[in-house]
Structures are given as structure tokens and as C-alpha cells.
Amino acid sequence: MSASAPESSTGEFLADLVQRSLEIARRQGATSAEASASNGHGLAMTVRLGEVESVEHHRDKGLGITVFVGQSKGSAATSDFSEQALADTVRAAITIARHTTADPYAGLTDPELLARDFPDLDLYHPWEIDADRAAELARRCEAAARGHDPRICNSEGASVGTGEGISVYGNTLGFLGTSRGSRHSISCSVLAGNQDGMQRDYWFDVARSASDLSSPEQIGITSAERTVRRLGSRKISTCVAPVLFENQAASSLLGHLAQAISGGSLYRKTSFLLDSLGKQLFPQTVRIYEEPLRLRGLGSCSFDGDGVATRNRDIVAGGVLQGYILDSYSARKLGMRSTGNAGGAHNLTLAPGTLDLDAMLRNMGRGLLVTELIGFGVNMVTGDYSRGAAGFWVENGQIQYPVEEITIAGHLQDVFLGIAEVGSDLLVHGNSGSPSILIEGMTIAGN
């Protein structure tokens, strides 16, 4: 923390703020309460065609409190940290709770599940960068993309973003935990054109530490390569064929799994994977795990939003579903225990295999390589899957030409069980990571 940082951005200040809010809640009649306070700041810079298009400095702070009067719940929030504002915010939450129907599953988490250890996960790496330096990096990124191929004819811009923040969570069970982290990114999107028309694509990188980012030039070149290779895209005839999800697109399948096995979907009975614990959902070779204690992970944390200790664990092992994704409330609704997932899964990852993308293309022989998914045509209640896609048609294990304006469809349970191969090209872009995934067969709708 720099010497000029405001007091309200220190962990000590936020911790005191949370504790004072909890004490006010007790005095106002709350049976129990939890509060979270945070402070963060950052910079977002976008350059287009060599000129600064936008620059945004942001600084955010806030406190939210949830109170329980018996088993009735009320919540309120404020960005004003004065004593009067805290009292007013707590009073508003108390008022809401007194007018809310009691919920037998409401309340703080089970005390024995609260985190006791707070390992240093190496999540905080501030980037000492100002607007001029950010603009320089964005220009370098865009220039690399525009100069990579003469068919690059326009740009949607290159962006550099950086942010850091600190948050404190506490409750009336005596828990108090502090999290500090940073997040930095570089991205680029360009357009290419020839006699067949125009195409666009992009690339980006994101990391806790700026030193872990790819160079601006490499990000720009990758965005240009991905754009140019789409020139000459065409439709294909409707068919059933193998589909190979490139790693960038494959991670969406992990997202569908996570949603289907999350507590909210399960207790509301809005998931196609109800009562699937212990069942074979994938081939035996598939392992999917979450790793909240990963060093520098974008989804890493030693405790979740309820204060529950997190742990590294397998979600799927040997193709069998080992556990759900539960916070304290949904766990009670299901008659289970929290899995430390208030806020969602942490660094959800599909374990890689041994084949690179070229080998997977050879093994596929004939089919579709998907590099982009469009739209949200997934019914989580039934598992029906239908999304727009773009990519490349493959014959004899070799890419033949780019394709677009197609739809791939199937049922997610069939897609999961139909995984033929998992690649070695694990890509982690955010809170999940996946290699490329080859599915035995899906319906491809085209002409």
C-alpha cells in the first residue's frame, strides 16, 4: 500500500468497519449477522487505430450487511462509511428482516466449517502503470496485429486493464477474514478482409501479475492470426459428425456442468443433473477438479463468501460425479454440507490429456473444429444444447476451410458421455481452464 493510499483502503480500516457494523446489528436486535466491506481501484485504457479511444479510472468502495432476526433475513448496502450511515444501513436491513417470512434454512454457516487457516496464495501484485504507459502497451499490441498481415484492414481496438482491491468478511460467529488481490489484462480485436468478405476475431490474456501476461505483441499477433484464418468462411450442409471444441471454446462446457450441479439449480429442480451424485457422467478418463488454493489463480481464495474454508477437490473423477457446488443455504436446502462454494466454483479445471490439437484433428479425421460459440441456446432444465458456432471443416485429419453460420446441437448428457479425447493444450483464461475436447458426434445444422 502506497503512503498516499486513503485510510479506507486498508485492511485494518475495513476490518474495523465490519466489526462495528456487526456490533450495531447486535444492538439493534439482530439474532446474527454478516458483513462484507471492500475497496478497490483500477484503470482501463482502449486504443483504436493508434489513438486513445477511452480511458477510465475507477475507484469503488462499499459495505453490505445481512442480518437475521430469528430466521428472517434482511440485507442492505452503503458506500458511505460514516457512523450514521452504518447505523442507517443496519436499521434498513433489520426493517426488511422484520417484514420477511421466516426461512427455516436461513442463517450463518455451520461454525465448524469456518476457515481457520489463511495461506498466502500470492494473489496481490499491483501494477505500477499510468495512463501513458497503458496507452503505449495498447498501441504496441494493436500495431503488432495490424502489421502482421496485409489483409488486416481495420481494428476494434486494443485494451489494457488493471485493478486491485481488498475486501473483509466477518460474521457474528467470530469469523473475520481479509482478501487482497489484483487482476490485469491485455486484449485486441481486429478485422480482415478480401474478395470473400470481412471477418473479425480477438485474443486476450489475464493474470494476477502483469509479469505473467503474454507480451502485447504476441497478443496482437495471435488476434491477427485468428482473424485472417477465418477469411473465406462458408456454410456446410447439415450433418451428424464429430465436433472438436478448441480449448478457448471448450471451457464453456465446464460452465454448463458447474451451473447444472450448483446448489441453486438443484434445490429449485431446474437442472438436468438432479440426483446425479455418484453417477457416471463422463468417460472414465475424465477428471474435473477445482483448486481454490492454487497460487496466483484468478479464482483462488482460502474462504468463500460465507467464511467456509475452501479445499482442492475432484468434482469428477473416473468420469463419476464426486460432489456438488454448494453454499451454506443451498446445502441446508438439500440436507447436505457446504462445499465452500458461496460465490461459485474456484479455478474449475478439466485435467489435460496427452494429445496436441494436430493429433486430435488427425484422430477425428472428418468433422468440425469449433473455435467460437455464439448465443446462449442451452436449456439447463432439460439439458438440450443448441448454439451458433464458427470454426473449420476438417477432412482426412486436415483443416480444409473456415465455416460460419452453423449451429451445433445435442443433449449435454450425451455430449459429456461422448467425450472421445481431451487434449494436452490446457488454456486457463479466468476462473476456469480446459484443453481442447473431442466429442464423438453432434448434429451440425447448416444449409
DSSP 11-32: HHHHHHHHHHHHHHHHHTT-SE
- Is the domain of 85 the same as that of 206? yes
> Residue 390 domain-assigned?
yes
- Is the domain of 371 the same as that of 412? yes
**pLDDT at residue number 146:** 97
**pLDDT at residue number 9:** 63
- Is the domain of 141 the same as that of 115? yes
> Residue 195 domain-assigned?
yes
- Is the domain of 145 the same as that of 194? yes
- Is the domain of 362 the same as that of 427? yes
- Is the domain of 187 the same as that of 248? no
In total, how many domains does the chain have? 2
Q: What CATH number should be reported for the domain holding residue 52?
A: 3.30.2290.10
> Residue 262 domain-assigned?
no
- Is the domain of 247 the same as that of 207? no
**Mean pLDDT per 10-residue section of the chain, whose length is 447 residues:** 51 96 97 97 98 96 97 97 96 97 96 97 97 98 97 97 98 97 98 93 97 98 97 95 97 97 97 97 98 97 98 98 98 97 97 97 97 93 96 97 96 98 95 96 94
**pLDDT at residue number 4:** 42
> Residue 72 domain-assigned?
yes
What is the domain range of residue 402? 239-252+352-445
**pLDDT at residue number 5:** 46
> Residue 263 domain-assigned?
no
**pLDDT at residue number 2:** 38
The predicted model scores a pTM of 0.94
**pLDDT at residue number 237:** 94
**pLDDT at residue number 10:** 84
> Residue 310 domain-assigned?
no
- Is the domain of 75 the same as that of 151? yes
Nearest to 187 by CA among 51, 54, 45: 45
Q: Looking at this protein, which amino acid is placed at residue 50?
A: G
Inter-residue long-range contacts of 200-206, CB under 8 Å, 24+ positions, other chains counted: 200/156, 200/227, 201/226, 201/227, 201/230, 201/372, 202/156, 202/226, 202/227, 204/429, 205/429, 206/298, 206/429, 206/430
**pLDDT at residue number 75:** 98
- Is the domain of 138 the same as that of 162? yes
